[in-house]
Amino acid sequence: MATVKLLADTELSAEARAVFDDIRAVRGTEYVNNFWRALAHDPALLRATWERLKVVMAPGALDPLVKEMVYLAVSVANGCEYCIHSHTAAARAKGMTEAQHGELLAVIGMASTTNAHVSALGVPVDAAFEADTPSAER
Amino acid sequence: MATVKLLADTELSAEARAVFDDIRAVRGTEYVNNFWRALAHDPALLRATWERLKVVMAPGALDPLVKEMVYLAVSVANGCEYCIHSHTAAARAKGMTEAQHGELLAVIGMASTTNAHVSALGVPVDAAFEADTPSAER
Amino acid sequence: MATVKLLADTELSAEARAVFDDIRAVRGTEYVNNFWRALAHDPALLRATWERLKVVMAPGALDPLVKEMVYLAVSVANGCEYCIHSHTAAARAKGMTEAQHGELLAVIGMASTTNAHVSALGVPVDAAFEADTPSAER
Amino acid sequence: MATVKLLADTELSAEARAVFDDIRAVRGTEYVNNFWRALAHDPALLRATWERLKVVMAPGALDPLVKEMVYLAVSVANGCEYCIHSHTAAARAKGMTEAQHGELLAVIGMASTTNAHVSALGVPVDAAFEADTPSAER
Amino acid sequence: MATVKLLADTELSAEARAVFDDIRAVRGTEYVNNFWRALAHDPALLRATWERLKVVMAPGALDPLVKEMVYLAVSVANGCEYCIHSHTAAARAKGMTEAQHGELLAVIGMASTTNAHVSALGVPVDAAFEADTPSAER
Amino acid sequence: MATVKLLADTELSAEARAVFDDIRAVRGTEYVNNFWRALAHDPALLRATWERLKVVMAPGALDPLVKEMVYLAVSVANGCEYCIHSHTAAARAKGMTEAQHGELLAVIGMASTTNAHVSALGVPVDAAFEADTPSAER
């Protein structure tokens, strides 16, 4: 039930093919998942998405597993079924244990409840939580 | 602009007062933020929320800072302004650096984009991402 | 912080004025809240919204207070601050007690949590919950 | 997996049948899609939805293809799979090219990212973006 | 398409089994739906969710059918397909008529539209809708 | 009420300053709005966001005003107040008339309602709306 046909390797444009080659090289696997096969209809969007993803998900100040769990949390909040499946799989591949998965779900659930309570109550932001007053210029 | 009056300490019921006492003891500060002052109108809901929060956010398989960042990510996806402010402050109090904050925002942004792309394309879940077939009983 | 100027009575077009007259007559008060003053820039949209609202919120199979609470629940889930304030006020005007308000928040919070858990787990719909198989034609 | 049985033509009430007749006449096709067959359980809601849709989606200050793309963008942001499929099909039927589809997705993705960044940062609205100060009356 | 295997009765831990026994006893049926079978991987989360659900959905200031309809409204706003199916079924089991279902959908639809209009217009909250000014302490 | 201090020109790093210079050059105005001043804490994220925005919002298969209206529609669906204000202003600067604004709001409102109806009814996607069956490889 996609809105575009998922492209097989033989259906790729040269530009899309080059991105697929890089995905395979970076991930060390021949498998390219459906998301990229759908995006491949627009090689420019495919490339921009993949290039940005490599930068954002690379190890840095946060470790890759933490990044995957944050990615998953956003996907759950947005109700994106595909994303939830792919990033749960990715988090497991990066070492997420069942205990960590359970705690992650508990935190996401807790945040969802208190987000709703806060909205319903219209709670004003405490002055203590605000960053410094904006500077005068602007 | 709250939908209920935020309760001052002198306006609390005995049951709400007891919860505030525990909040202060657990957090080691006299300061009780507006969320709890709004919830205090319903002492049973106040207690249930606080008791659950203590369990969920306690150190476990995930460390408390990771939990705060996940909480923040969900709050951003839900657009809860108060929650974003309070959990950004909490994450900083637990050691989140500016570099980590920046990467966290980048991951949340990346997930938001690909969530939207996946939805727009109606990408079907790869069989590779599915857990085992549900068992026969049920 | 509106994206349009809120119109005062003296700034209304004749068509918008007629809708305001009806709002005042139906509600039995001179007060017309900001939502209508913002919509008044587009008299056709103003009229369509008001006419539909009268039909939808009228007493019927569901009583008006239940409708207000459902309206409020949707507004909380969507994080619409103005809507939350206006429909909390409307629900109170229709008799919502503080105890009912507290239970309403608890249900909204519970639903928010389990919605998140269900999404995170990708739970497939039980056959028991599905309506009859769609008929052959179509 | 619907929560109501989709009604076949032979199962329609007289009132629902009349709406279906109008849908067929306006669209110039015998095909009536599942949305209307689900709504047909409540002929009053069916009629109100169809009558409003005709007005809103008619050519006006915005051309019909632009309206379809806006409709699709909202459906993506809300994660409504059915709506995404039906309005992607409708946009194509109204002339959306593959290049336009790709740019549409890129804009939706960009907006999703910056919406998230703005929320995470709690950016205050620039005075330059505000409409005139609300008038004194009110 | 779940992210975890749904557990059969024979696969439950002792702690999960005890929760299932309580679900069966409270609901008066042997049937335990998929949500609980997915949550059963984390017995602590399973128990916490079930215990809270019993409290929140019990008869109180709001009757159980009203609570189910509110639960359903939130699930629709969040686009949680499973939740919509399970709580539509639950509402019907508690007596929701087809006419009530139709009105519920109409209210949810109305709220969705006006939530969007209010957001697009950036309507400021009327002073009349605000609760008392927060007390000085804090 | 930002979670970071908005940076004045004198507080920018050299890298952020270079991005601000480009924003000013491309837009032909000295004014740099708050979003960029908040992002400026993370020059890499600032640059990536600005560079991508230039590409995505440039004239192409869709004209810039249509892109702004789509951006606004997504921002409304996501309830991002700042984004709604900035993109309403941008759309007006690109020629959006009051009549177009009104129709845009009507389409967004209509989509919001039918998205909710579709979700509540769990309407299955018509076969007619699906793209070709995915190719065999994959």
Average pLDDT of the segment spanning E86-111: 98
Number of CB atoms found within 10 A of residue D53's CB: 16
Chain B interface includes E3 (CB < 8 A): yes
Amino acid at D71: Y
Give residues 53 to 82 of D whose Cβ lies within 8 Å of C: 55
Residue C131 is predicted with a pLDDT of 81
CA neighbor of A116 nearest in space, from B29, D106, E70: E70
Chain E interface includes D134 (CB < 8 A): yes
Q: Indicate yes or no: CB of B5 within 8 angstroms of CB of E52.
A: no
Residues of chain A with pLDDT under 70: 132-138
Class of domain D59-121: mainly alpha
Residue E132 is predicted with a pLDDT of 61
The residue of chain F with its CA nearest to that of A135 is: F8
Cα angle, residue C84 at apex, residues C81 and C86 outer, rounded to 5°: 110
Distance in angstroms (rounded) separating the CA atoms of residues A49 and A52: 5
pLDDT band at E137 (very low <50, low <70, confident <90, very high): very low
Distance from the A5 Cα atom to the nearest Cα atom in chain F, whole angstroms: 5
Does A60-120 match A1-58 at the fold level? yes
Distance from the C95 Cα atom to the nearest Cα atom in chain D, whole angstroms: 25
Q: Indicate yes or no: CB of C130 within 8 angstroms of CB of D2.
A: yes
Q: Is it the case that residue D135 has pLDDT exceeding 80?
A: no
Distance in angstroms (rounded) separating the CA atoms of residues E83 and E76: 8
Q: Is it the case that residue E113 has pLDDT exceeding 90?
A: yes
CA–CA distance from C103 to each of E42, E132, F96 (Å)? 27, 22, 45
Average pLDDT of the segment spanning F39-67: 98
Residue C136 is predicted with a pLDDT of 36
CA neighbor of D93 nearest in space, from D63, D71, D65, D67: D65
Q: Is it the case that residue C133 has pLDDT exceeding 80?
A: no
In the D/F pair of chains, how many CB contacts fall below 8 A? 221
Q: Is it the case that residue E138 has pLDDT exceeding 90?
A: no
- Closest partner CB to F137 (pick from A2, A8, A134): A8
- Domain A60-120 CATH superfamily: AhpD-like (1.20.1290.10)
On the 0-12 / 13-18 / 19+ scale of CB atoms within 10 A, B29 is exposed
DSSP E25: H
Phi-psi region of E6 (alpha: psi -120 to 50; beta: other; left: phi over 0): beta
| ipTM (interface predicted TM) | 0.94
Distance in angstroms (rounded) separating the CA atoms of residues E10 and D66: 55
Strand, helix or coil at D93? helix
Residue F132 is predicted with a pLDDT of 61
Of the options 1.10.3720.10, 1.20.1290.10, 2.120.10.80, 3.40.1640.10, the CATH number for the domain spanning B1-58 = 1.20.1290.10
Residue C135 is predicted with a pLDDT of 39
Average pLDDT of the segment spanning B79-104: 98
DSSP E136: S
Q: Is it the case that residue D136 has pLDDT exceeding 90?
A: no
Phi-psi region of F30 (alpha: psi -120 to 50; beta: other; left: phi over 0): alpha
Tens digits of residue pLDDT in D66-112: 999 999 999 999 999 999 999 999 999 999 999 999 999 999 999 99
Tens digits of residue pLDDT in C48-69: 999 999 999 999 999 999 999 9
Maximum pairwise Cα distance, chain D: 59
CA neighbor of D72 nearest in space, from C49, F69, B76, F102: F69
Q: Indicate yes or no: CB of E71 within 8 angstroms of CB of C102.
A: no
Take residue B15 and report the two structure tokens written for it. Answer: 């049951």
Chain B interface includes E137 (CB < 8 A): yes
Distance in angstroms (rounded) separating the CA atoms of residues B32 and A64: 35
Distance from the C65 Cα atom to the nearest Cα atom in chain B, whole angstroms: 17
Residue A15 is predicted with a pLDDT of 98
Comparison of pLDDT for F134 and C27, the residue scoring more: C27
DSSP F6: P
F chain contacts of residue E109, beta-carbon cutoff 8 Å: 113-114, 116-117
Listed by start position, the domains of chain C span 9-58, 59-120
Percentages helix, strand, coil for chain F (3-state, rounded to 5) are 65, 0, 35
CA–CA distance from B5 to each of B12, E101, F40 (Å)? 12, 35, 37
- Domain C9-58 CATH superfamily: AhpD-like (1.20.1290.10)
Topology adopted by domain B59-120: AhpD-like (1.20.1290)
Buried b (16+ CB within 10 A) or exposed e, C21-44: eebeeeeeeeebbbbbbbbbbbbe
